[in-house]
Amino acid sequence: MKGLEPHRSTMLGAATTARANVNVALIKYWGKRDAALNLPATGSISLTLDGLWVEASCAFGAGSNDDCLIDGRPAVEPDRGRLLRFVDLVRAEAGIEAKAAVRTTSGVPNGVGLASSAAAFASLALATSRAAGLRLEAPALSALARRGSGSAARSIFGGFVEWHRGARPDGLDSIAEPLLAPSDWDVRVVVAVVSSARKPVSSRDGMKRAAASPLYPAWVDAAERDLTIARGAIAARDLEALGLVAEHSAFKMHAVGLAARPPLLYWLAATIECVHRVWALREEGTRGWVTIDAGPQVKVLCDPADAHRIAAALADVPGVERVLTCTPGAGVEVRA
Helix (H/G/I), strand (E/B), else coil: 42: coil
Q: Residue 186 carries which side chain, given as an amino acid letter? A: D
Strand partners, 193: 322
How many whole angstroms separate alpha carbon 153 and alpha carbon 133?
Answer: 21
| Segment lying near ligand PMV (by CB under 6 A), choices 26-34, 66-74, 240-248, 300-308 | 26-34
How many whole angstroms separate alpha carbon 315 and alpha carbon 304?
Answer: 17
Residue 105: what are its φ and ψ, rounded to 5°?
-130, 125
Closer to ligand PMV by CB, 149 or 286: give it.
Answer: 149
Q: Which of residues 144-173 bind ligand PMV (CB under 6 A)?
A: 149-151
Number of residues that bind ligand PMV (CB under 6 A): 15
Closer to ligand PMV by CB, 131 or 175: give it.
Answer: 175
Give the E-state strand segments of the chain in sequence order. Answer: 16-27, 32-34, 39-40, 44-61, 67-70, 73-74, 99-106, 160-163, 176-180, 188-193, 288-291, 298-302, 322-326, 333-334
What secondary structure does DSSP assign to 88-155, as a single string?
Answer: HHHHHHHT---EEEEEEEE-SPTTS----HHHHHHHHHHHHHHHTT----HHHHHHHHHHH-TTHHHH
Q: Please, what is the minimum distance in Å from the beta carbon of residue 4 to ligand PMV? A: 24
Q: How far apart, in Å, are the Cα atoms of 56 and each of 8, 38, 75, 124, 265?
A: 15, 21, 13, 5, 32
- Which member of 57, 203, 271, 297 binds ligand PMV (CB under 6 A)? 203
Q: Which of residues 258-287 bind ligand PMV (CB under 6 A)?
A: none
Residues 72-111, mask of contacts with ligand PMV (x by CB under 6 A):
----------------------------------------
Q: How far apart, in Å, are the Cα atoms of 36 and each of 106, 168, 189?
A: 26, 14, 32
Q: Does 294 bind ligand PMV (CB under 6 A)?
A: yes
Q: Please, what is the minimum distance in Å from the beta carbon of residue 217 to ligand PMV? A: 19
Q: Which of residues 38-57 bind ligand PMV (CB under 6 A)?
A: 44
Helices (H) and strands (E) in the chain, counts: 9, 14
- Which member of 28, 147, 231, 254 binds ligand PMV (CB under 6 A)? 28
Q: Please, what is the minimum distance in Å from the beta carbon of residue 24 to ligand PMV? A: 7
| Segment lying near ligand PMV (by CB under 6 A), choices 53-61, 112-120, 181-189, 313-321 | 112-120
Q: Please, what is the minimum distance in Å from the beta carbon of residue 331 to ligand PMV? A: 16
- Which member of 17, 104, 117, 195 binds ligand PMV (CB under 6 A)? 117
Closer to ligand PMV by CB, 187 or 250: give it.
Answer: 250
- Which member of 7, 29, 176, 326 binds ligand PMV (CB under 6 A)? 29
Q: Please, what is the minimum distance in Å from the beta carbon of residue 151 to ligand PMV? A: 3
Closest CA to 124 of 76, 83, 185: 83
| Largest interatomic CA distance in the chain | 64
Closer to ligand PMV by CB, 223 or 314: give it.
Answer: 223
Q: Please, what is the minimum distance in Å from the beta carbon of residue 253 to ligand PMV? A: 7
How many whole angstroms separate alpha carbon 227 and alpha carbon 247?
Answer: 13
Binding site for ligand PMV (CB under 6 A): 25, 28-30, 44, 115, 117-118, 149-151, 203-204, 293-294
